[in-house]
Amino acid sequence: MNEIFAAKPTKTSRPIFALERSELKAWLKGQRVGTRNWLSSTDFKAKPGEFALVPGRDGGLERVVLGVSSKKEPWDWSGLVRKLPSGRYHIASELDPGYATTAALGWALGHYRFDRYKAHAGKAPLLAWPEAADQGEVQRLFEGISLARDLINTPAGDLGPTALGESAKELAARHKAKFKLIVGDKLLEQNYPTIHAVGRACSDAPRLIDFTWGDPNHPKLTLVGKGVCFDTGGLDLKPADNMKLMKKDMGGAALMLGLAHAVMSAGLPVRLRVLVPAVENSVGGNAFHPLDVIKTRKGLTVEIGHTDAEGRLILCDALAEADTETPDLLIDAATLTGAARVALGTELPALFSSDDDVAAAVLAAGLREGDPLWRLPLHEPYKEQLKTPMADLNNQGGPFGGAITAALFLQSFISKRQRWVHIDTMGWNLRSRPGRPMGGEAFALRALYRMLVERYSA
C-alpha cells in the first residue's frame, strides 16, 4: 500500500475538501475571495465525483475540492487518482470513521490496474491515511478485490486449472490454512464424477481445490466458487463471439477466493472452508457428450441437455460435499447464466437464497456499501423444466427463467435445512468507471463481507 498511501500529511501535502452539493454554499462563505471566484468561474457545483483544482496566489495548486454523494460511496474518491498531479495529498474535511474508511478504499481502488502484460505508466498521487480510517479494513478489501480482478483478467493460457490451484494454495499458505487438491482421475476415485467429466478433455487436468481455516469450534462458513478457467461450450460449441470473454468463467471462484482473503485477514470467528472445482471445458476425443447420463456425488443422475451448462455440473459435486458438514452458512458464486444478465444487466448480480433473513442481510449490506444485488425467486414449479425421462435431472432448463432453473438445479444437491446463498454474477465490467475499470470485477464481495462481519463478529 506504500504506492497508494502515505503515513501522514506533510507541510507540502495539498488538502482535499470533500463537500456534498448542499454543503457548498456554506463552505464557500468561509473561503477567501480568490477561491470563491475560481470555483464560480469554473462552474463547480460539487456534483458527486466532480472536482476542482484551486490555484493559490502563486499560481500553483493550493487545494482540491471534491463533490461527494450523500450515499457515501467510495467511487467519488476513485476518480481523483488518475487526474490529480503526482504528489502528496490529505483529506482536510472531517470524516467519521466509517466514511473515512470508505474514502480510503475508494482512493485505493482508483489505483487498481491490471498491468501484468504492460509497462507500468506514470507515478500516481499519494494520499495520507485519513486519521479515522480503519487501515486494516481498507487493505484487506483492496487486496481481496484486486486478487479477484487479477485472476479474472489473466488470460486462460496463463491461468488454467493448475495455475488457479497454485493461486489458491498461495492464499491458503499466507493465512496458514490447511490445503489439499484432488486432481485428475483421483476425482473419480473420491467420487467427484461431474467435475471430472467436465474437465477431462483438457490436457490441464481438472481438480478440486479445498482448504480450511479457523477454529473448528466456531460456526462453519463454506464458500464454493465456479472455477471454469475457460469455456469452449464443450461439444455443443459456443459461437466465437460468445467465447471471447470465457477467461472470466472462473469469476465465481475468483470472487470466493477474494472474499476468503478478506474473511481470514479480518480474523472472523468462523471455521472457513473454501471449495473450488477448477476445470477447462474443452473439446476432445474424451469430452463428455450431449445426452450422456452422469451419476453425481450426491447419487442423483443428470442427463446432459447441453455441454455448455457445465458450471452447474462442477458446482453440484462441490455443493454436495459442502452440505455433508451442514455449515451454518453456505455461499456459492458463479458466472452461471446469461439469463441473469438479461434479467438484471451486467452490473447487478442475482441473489438466490433458501433463507429470507440472510438474503435480506446481504441485500441491505449491498445497498449500504454501494455494492448492490437483486434477489430472484427459487420458484419451485419451474423445476418441471429440469425433468427428463432418462435421469433424475437434466442440466438444461427450458427457454425461459434460465437463472431460476439453474439455481433450482443447484439446490437439488443440498439439503432443505441448509442455509444457502447463490450468487449468479457477470464478473466483468463492460464499461470503465472510476475505481471500476473495464475487465474482471468482484461484484458482491463487499456486500458479502459486510454481511459476514455483522453476522459473526458479535
Residue intervals of the chain classified under CATH 3.40.220.10 are 5-133
What per-residue confidence (pLDDT) applies to 123? Answer: 85
SS (H, E, C) the chain: CCCCEECCCCCCCEEEEEECHHHHHHHHHCCCHHHHHHHHHCCCCCCCCCEEEEECCCCCEEEEEEECCCCCCCHHHHCCCCCCCCCEEEECCCCCHHHHHHHHHHHHHHCCCCCCCCCCCCCCCEEECCCCCCHHHHHHHHHHHHHHHHHHHCCCCCCCHHHHHHHHHHHHHHCCCEEEEEECCHHHHCCCHHHHHHHCCCCCCCEEEEEEECCCCCCEEEEEECEEEEECCCCCCCCHHHHCCHHHHHHHHHHHHHHHHHHHHHCCCCEEEEEEEEEEECCCCCCCCCCCEEECCCCCEEECCCCCCCHHHHHHHHHHHHHCCCCCEEEEEECCCHHHHHHHCCCCCEEEECCHHHHHHHHHHHHHHCCCCEECCCCHHHHHHHCECCECEECCCCCCCHHHHHHHHHHCCCCCCCCEEEEECCCEECCCECCECCEECCCCHHHHHHHHHHHHCC
CATH fold of 138-456: Aminopeptidase (3.40.630)
> What are 36-48's pLDDT values in tens digits?
999 999 999 999 9
238 is catalytic: yes
What's the N-to-C CA distance of the chain in angstroms? 29
- Separation of alpha carbons 372 and 362, rounded Å: 9
352: phi then psi, degrees, rounded to nearest 5: -120, 145
- Separation of alpha carbons 213 and 376, rounded Å: 31
DSSP character for 129? P
CB 261 within 8 A of CB 143: yes
312 is catalytic: yes
The grid cell for 439 is 475487465
What per-residue confidence (pLDDT) applies to 318? Answer: 98
Residue intervals of the chain classified under CATH 3.40.630.10 are 138-456
What per-residue confidence (pLDDT) applies to 119? Answer: 83
What per-residue confidence (pLDDT) applies to 121? Answer: 67
CATH fold of 5-133: Leucine Aminopeptidase, subunit E; domain 1 (3.40.220)
Query: pTM for the whole thing?
Result: 0.97
Catalytic residue (one of 21, 82, 238, 419): 238
Catalytic residue (one of 312, 341, 436, 450): 312
Low-confidence ranges of the chain (pLDDT < 70): 121, 458
What per-residue confidence (pLDDT) applies to 346? Answer: 98
Chain CA centroid to CA 446, Å: 8
Angle between helices 445-456 and 356-369 (to 10 degrees): 120
